Amino acid sequence: MITSLLTQGPQEPQRWKHWQLPEQASTFADDHDTLYTFVEWINYIFFFGIMFVLFYAVIKYRRKTPGQPPASVITHHTAMEVTWTVVPLIVVMVIFAWGWKGYADMTLAPADSIQYEVKAERWKWSFKHPGSTEFFGKEFWVPVNKPCQLTMSSTDVLHSFFIPAFRVKRDVLPGRYQTVWFQATLTTWKENVENEKQEGFHIFCTEFCGEGHSKMLGTVHVVSQKQWDEWMKPGAEVPWDPFLITDPEDPTYDEDREFNGNIVYGQSCLTCHTLDGTRSTGPSFKGLWTRNIKRLGLEGKTAAEQEAGMAAYITQSVRNPNAYIAETFDSPSMMTPFPPTSLNDDRVNDMIGFLKSEKLK
Amino acid sequence: MSHAGHTVPAPEGFVPHVVAHHFESQEQEYQSAKLGFWLFLCTEVLLFGGLFAAFFYYKSMYQADFVRGGELLAWKMGTLNTVILLASSYTMAMAVRSAQLTKKKAMLNYLLITLICGAGFMVVKYFEYTSKIHHGFLPGVFFVPNAEALIEFPGLLDFPRLNLFFALYWTMTGIHGFHVLVGMFLMVWLYWRGKKGHFHKGHYMPVDLVGLYWHLVDLIWIFLFPLLYLVP
Amino acid sequence: MTAIPATPVEETQPIEQKNYLNVTKTFMSWAGTLDHKRIGLMYLIGVTFAFLVGGLFALMVRLHLWDAIINPDGTTTGGIFTPDKYNQYFTMHGVFMVFMFIIPAIPASLGNFALPLQLGAKDVALPRLNLLSFYLWLAGTLMAIASMVMGQIDTGWTFYTPYSIYTNKAVIMMGLAVFTLGFSSIFTGLNFIVTVHKLRAPGQGWFRMPLFVWAIYATALLQVLATPVIGITVLLLAFERLYHIGIFDPHFGGDPVLFQHFFWFYSHPAVYIMILPAMGIISDVISVHSRKPIFGYRLIAFSSLAIAIISFIVWGHHMFTSGQSELALFIFSFLTFFVALPSAIKEFNWVATVWKGSISLEAPMLYALSFLVIFAVGGLTGIILGALSLDIHLHDTYFVVAHFHYVMMGSTAMAFFAGLHHWWPKMFGVMYSRFWSNFAAIWIFVGFNWTFLPQFVMGSEGMPRRYAHYLKEWQGYHQASTVGAIIIAAGVAMMVGYLVMSLFNGKKASNNPWGGATLEWHTATPPVLENFETQPIVDRDPYDYTLVIEAARKGEL
């Protein structure tokens, strides 16, 4: 009831920028930043007011002789005391009501919101876009000026989903669904530019979740309605499903797998495994293929046998990281297992192709 | 260094009590100790309060499981324990009264009976716990009902949250049982000092305070018992 | 007989007066002491140690954050420690500072020393319990150090589940340490409540008590009523780790948000356990060093109680984003503003006390004035965080980190320094260097703001907290903050330096160097073992300086 009394729904935002706050990229930002500025100025007024009085008093009423009495000994002044109780009370009630209203607007997503699913795990975000069946990390795309609702859950510990530019944040819990919604107002996606790095808005994890907490970054891209409509056509090529279809019969099978594997690496393995030989939370992927060919005794076997042996090992490592711990690393493993819902068999196959590639061998 | 305060005269054959040096009078000492002890009892209430809060929260989340769990508890043994504790509270109060009246023999007897009641409580608890262990009704991840239990209590596996019920059962009754053990230890201490003649109408404060503790332990059980055992 | 002599103590002293410090000198006479003053000193050494250890961890964190950058492609550069080690260090910083320094510091060291003196009593009501409290603090600290060796925890001082259930560190040992430290706190609070009720000097009604006593009393209520909840919480967490009882773990039907409720039910009142004694010190110090009665005595006394009571019903404001119902959020946000009001009223009262006083700028007063400036910022930024829509953006960012350092360090720690400098002559009978103490006070004030002001801006821009690496755009703020931390460290080193030096070659202090009107200033410096030669009787207000001013005019102070 309280919500319905105060909620008005998203309005056309005016856009301005507060020097401390990120750019205003959602319909929540304007009201949020206005309230922030209001309280900030109240802060400045009270703070500098107090400072001025203190500074003045300390200089003017400095004790100059040992026996100097105070200039006055009043211990009460009813009018002042009432004023400085009632005025702050009114001010904070205004701030409360304004903050409440802003929050209430954030809770009820419009009925026609575009639905996304978000998965948080250590240590990456992945997103399921409308019409898609797979989770893809670590970026997601939304159309401008359309409400979008995210249903989020964690597979392990607490995380928190934060997009500063949109002014939204919500803890993501294991065993429970949380929702958050927003309507983006600033487009970031550049169209018709091949191979140019696209910049979106930052996504951060803001609930401490372990070693990779600060590496759990993501990006949200805001695209124009036209671009979104194109992507929503059935069969369209979409950036959240960049994987090539790999076919063992294809001459480009290995290259395709390597291409896909590179993407999977960037999404799921980068946080803990390097590609240049440096040791991180987990062993580096460089030389992994060769090391394990030796370890598994596959040297001298045919290429097909080697591939089969390594495929079994890699699949096992991904699905059950505790099965084999690399030398010099601690047992039990720190690695989160990737069940087929996280990394399906195609993607594992891609990883095999990636690890097998010349530059990593 | 000596903290010699003034001495309170004791009846013939008893040990006089020396008031601590920083107190003006024995009255001040007695009132301070009593206030302090009541505050301590408040903290105990809050400690158990947290557990009760958790219990109520999960009971409302998993009502069916908690009802089923309650049915699995030995309410007859629980009732016996309630009677034992209530009786022991009476004897404890009588012990305090005896101390106030300088009736040493009566006080010692009442303390002894209270101690025996406490021991009785723990013995009944022992049987209760062994029965639960035998059935496999252990807390949390160790809740694995064995074949016998599954026959005796059909349909247990339909209630996935019994592990949580038993986690709370073991934690709450266990911590309460620990407090009973501490109480028993305090009885022994009182008995030993009482035998030496420390408690009389001029100084019965320790008996009084341990009495308060014992009453609280009883009171907590009075709430625990119906909540866990009797609700179904 | 009047309690407050018009003429202070004679100048000529016997060669070595027997006081509480030198009346006995054996190790056991200190280790087994029942004297509140000696216990207060032992606590002082202990909490100073905890402060320095916590500060060292902070320095390591800030040095690591000089250049710990994460690039857009996910690779990291710079920094000194691995993320795992970094997580351990910021956790240890929090644990040491919160549980071993800030919560006990003012009540157990300065409170233990000054409260019975201010009440005209010979000791606290339960001296043996007081000693037990100290040894519980010591035991808890040793357990915390043991857990560091066994597997330094990395959960943050907040131990949120499920992470704290599954991390392979010595969480249970640290939980037991917190449990033990909790009991130390409970018993101290219990002792003070009984002392204030039962051991006041004749003539000292409730409204003739110094405000420091009121503050400690309100704190003690919180210590007794709130701390058991953290006790049961860490116990349940231990059981969860050992037996997977499933109370906080969603894999077994539990609720991680329930843990947060349990945790903050104590930890919010805990922050008032930290700030209330600090406010008590400020009331006393400002009044004495302005030689002017405190403005609005009763209002300040009642506001301490009001803060204590309201602090129990606002804990949910630490959890605005964790998925509580809208009704709960409404209530918690609403009540949070109410807990801010008594603090605001106090701030105005203090400023009104300083106004038109007879102000002397010694180290205690400089720290107290620092407090007034810094607490204003801390409190006002708390108002920002209380507003729901703003907190959604600012929760778990550096804005919160800056806010709580402003109130916990900039306010509580500054007040602790103020009290330390205020009562130092009474405790040890010596004066510290006037120049160095004033210099260090200003130095630390500058260093503190240098460290934490940039963090407000960073937080508003979206920089999350507990990050081992950050995006390059925030490096400027981080580097400024690190420089500030080094400045603070230098200032603290200075402080420890001149304070220790004063013990060896400080000038002998008179009984009442500042001109205070409360009872502790009207007994020997340092006090005799039994505190007073004869039982004082109180017949005037604690902030009535007429006799003091008279004595000062005659040059007798």
Chain C residues inside the 8 Å CB shell of B220: none
Q: What is the pLDDT of residue B1?
A: 37
Structural domains present in chain B: 24-230 (1.20.120.80)
pLDDT, one tens digit per residue, over C120-176 is 999 999 999 999 999 999 999 999 999 999 989 999 999 999 999 999 899 999 999
C540 part of contact set with chain B, CB < 8 Å = no
Q: What angle do CA A286, A292, A297 make, to 5 degrees?
A: 155
C224 part of contact set with chain B, CB < 8 Å = yes
Q: Alpha-carbon distance C177 to C147, whole Å?
A: 9
pTM of the entire predicted model = 0.90
Q: What is the pLDDT of residue C44?
A: 97
Q: What is the pLDDT of residue C15?
A: 52
B100 part of contact set with chain C, CB < 8 Å = no
Q: What is the pLDDT of residue C6?
A: 44
Helix axes C112-119, C171-198, angle to 10 degrees: 10
Task: Give the closest residue to C177 by CA, choosing from C209, C199, C144, C151.
Answer: C144
Q: Alpha-carbon distance B227 to B82, whole Å?
A: 13
CA distance C409 to chain A (A): 18
Say if residues C145 and C232 touch (Cβ distance below 8 Å). no
- Asked if C247 and B44 come within 8 Å (Cβ–Cβ), the reply is no
Chain C residues inside the 8 Å CB shell of B51: 232
- Asked if A215 and C549 come within 8 Å (Cβ–Cβ), the reply is no
CB pairs under 8 A between B and C: 124
Task: Give the closest residue to B51 by CA, choosing from B172, B138, B226, B216.
Answer: B172
Chain B residues inside the 8 Å CB shell of C262: 50, 54
CA distance C199 to chain B (A): 8
Tell me which amino acid residue C392 is: I
Q: Is it the case that chain B and chain A have 3 or more CB pairs lying under 8 Å apart?
A: no
Question: Chain C residue closest to B35 (CA)?
Answer: C194
- Asked if C344 and A160 come within 8 Å (Cβ–Cβ), the reply is no
* 3-state SS, one letter per residue, for chain A: CHHHHHCCCCCCCCCCCCCCCCCCCECCHHHHHHHHHHHHHHHHHHHHHHHHHHHHHHHHCECCCCCCCCCCCCCCCHHHHHHHHHHHHHHHHHHHHHHHHHHHHHHCCCCCCEEEEEEEECCEEEEECCCCCCCECCEEEEECCCEEEEEEEECCCCEEEEEHHHCEEEEECECCCEEEEEEECCCCCCCCCCCCCCCCEEEEECCCCCCCHHHCCEEEEEECHHHHHHHHCCCCCCCCCCCCCCCCCCCCHHHHHHHHHHHHHHHHHCCCCCCCCCCCCCCCCCCHHHHHHHHCCCCCCCHHHHHHHHHHHHHHHHHCCCCCCCCCCCCCCCCCCCCCCCCCHHHHHHHHHHHHCCCCC
Find residue A121's DSSP bridge partners. Answer: A124
Q: Which fold has domain A253-356?
A: Cytochrome Bc1 Complex; Chain D, domain 2 (1.10.760)
Exposure letters A9-42 (e unless 16+ CB within 10 A, then b): ebeebeeeebebbbebbbbbbbbbbebbebbbeb
pLDDT, one tens digit per residue, over A161-211 is 999 999 999 999 998 999 999 999 999 998 877 777 888 999 999 999 999
A337 part of contact set with chain C, CB < 8 Å = no
Both tokens of C462, joined, read 């979206």
Both tokens of C188, joined, read 């101290």
Say if residues C357 and C292 touch (Cβ distance below 8 Å). yes
- Percentage of chain C exceeding pLDDT 90: 86
Q: Alpha-carbon distance B2 to B21, whole Å?
A: 9
B47 part of contact set with chain C, CB < 8 Å = yes
Q: Is it the case that chain C and chain A have 3 or more CB pairs lying under 8 Å apart?
A: yes
- In this structure, whether the domain defined by A114-232 belongs to CATH 3.30.420.40 is answered with no
Peptide bond into C162 cis (omega under 30): yes
pLDDT band at B12 (very low <50, low <70, confident <90, very high): confident
Sequential DSSP letters for C476-502: HHHHHHHHHHHHHHHHHHHHHHHHHHH
Q: How far apart are the first and last CA of chain C?
A: 21
Say if residues C381 and C399 touch (Cβ distance below 8 Å). yes
Residue A113 Cα to chain centre, angstroms:
20
Chain C residues inside the 8 Å CB shell of A177: none
- Asked if C383 and A101 come within 8 Å (Cβ–Cβ), the reply is no
Q: What subunits make at least 3 CB pairs under 8 angstroms with A?
A: C
- Asked if A2 and C70 come within 8 Å (Cβ–Cβ), the reply is no
Query: How many other CB atoms are there within 10 angstroms of residue C391's CB atom?
Result: 24
pLDDT band at B209 (very low <50, low <70, confident <90, very high): very high
- CATH for A2-66+73-107 is 1.10.287
Task: Give the closest residue to C144 by CA, choosing from C179, C104, C109.
Answer: C179
The stretches in chain C having pLDDT less than 50 are 1-3, 5-14
Distances (CA, A) of C526 to B70, C497, C504: 63, 21, 15
Mean per-residue pLDDT, A332-358: 85
Question: Chain A residue closest to C333 (CA)?
Answer: A96
Say if residues A242 and A164 touch (Cβ distance below 8 Å). no
Q: Is C417 helix (H, G, I), strand (E, B) or coil?
A: helix
CA distance A184 to chain C (A): 16
- Asked if C245 and B139 come within 8 Å (Cβ–Cβ), the reply is yes
Closest by Cβ to C224, choosing from B3, B42, B163: B42
- Asked if B36 and C122 come within 8 Å (Cβ–Cβ), the reply is no
φ and ψ of A47, to 5 deg: -65, -55
Q: Which of C165, C198, C241 to mutate to test the interface with B (most CBs of B within 10 A)?
A: C198
Within chain B, strands assigned E span 7-8, 17-18
Check whether A6 has a pLDDT greater than 80: no
A5 part of contact set with chain C, CB < 8 Å = no
pLDDT band at A250 (very low <50, low <70, confident <90, very high): confident
φ and ψ of B18, to 5 deg: -100, 120
Check whether A73 has a pLDDT greater than 90: no
Chain A residues inside the 8 Å CB shell of C293: 73, 75
Query: How many other CB atoms are there within 10 angstroms of residue C21's CB atom?
Result: 17
Residue C411 Cα to chain centre, angstroms:
8
| Helix (H), strand (E) at residue C130 | helix C127-151
Task: Give the closest residue to C165 by CA, choosing from C87, C250, C83, C95.
Answer: C250
Mean per-residue pLDDT, A229-250: 86
Q: Mark which residues 74-133 of C lie under 8 Å from B by CB.
A: 121-127, 129
Closest by Cβ to B3, choosing from C34, C232, C255: C34
- Asked if C225 and B46 come within 8 Å (Cβ–Cβ), the reply is yes
A202 part of contact set with chain C, CB < 8 Å = yes
Question: Chain C residue closest to A174 (CA)?
Answer: C250
- Asked if C359 and A178 come within 8 Å (Cβ–Cβ), the reply is no
Question: Chain B residue closest to C188 (CA)?
Answer: B36
CA distance C391 to chain B (A): 27
- Percentage of chain B exceeding pLDDT 90: 66
Sequential DSSP letters for C157-196: TTT-TTHHHHSSS-HHHHHHHHHHHHHHHHHHHHHHHHHH
The DSSP output letter for C531 is S
Q: What angle do CA A327, A328, A334 make, to 5 degrees?
A: 95
Question: Chain C residue closest to A67 (CA)?
Answer: C553
ipTM of the complex: 0.90
- Asked if C390 and A99 come within 8 Å (Cβ–Cβ), the reply is yes
Q: Which of A47, A86, A157, A205 to mutate to test the interface with C (most CBs of C within 10 A)?
A: A157
Q: Mark which residues 247-266 of A lie under 8 Å from C by CB.
A: 266
pLDDT band at A5 (very low <50, low <70, confident <90, very high): very low
Find residue A161's DSSP bridge partners. Answer: A170, A205
| Helix (H), strand (E) at residue C77 | strand C76-77
φ and ψ of C207, to 5 deg: -90, 15
- Asked if B32 and C254 come within 8 Å (Cβ–Cβ), the reply is no
Chain C residues inside the 8 Å CB shell of B3: 34
Q: Which fold has domain C27-553?
A: Cytochrome C Oxidase; Chain A (1.20.210)
Q: What is the pLDDT of residue C2?
A: 42
Say if residues C431 and C363 touch (Cβ distance below 8 Å). no
Q: What subunits make at least 3 CB pairs under 8 angstroms with B?
A: C
> What are the start and end residues of each CATH 1.10.287 domain in chain A?
2-66+73-107
Check whether A3 has a pLDDT greater than 60: no
pLDDT, one tens digit per residue, over A31-49 is 999 999 999 999 999 889 9
Q: Mark which residues 190-219 of C lie under 8 Å from B by CB.
A: 190-191, 193-195, 197-199
Query: Highest-confidence range of A56-70, A297-311, B179-193, by mean pLDDT?
Result: B179-193
Q: Alpha-carbon distance C176 to B132, whole Å?
A: 28
pLDDT band at A13 (very low <50, low <70, confident <90, very high): low
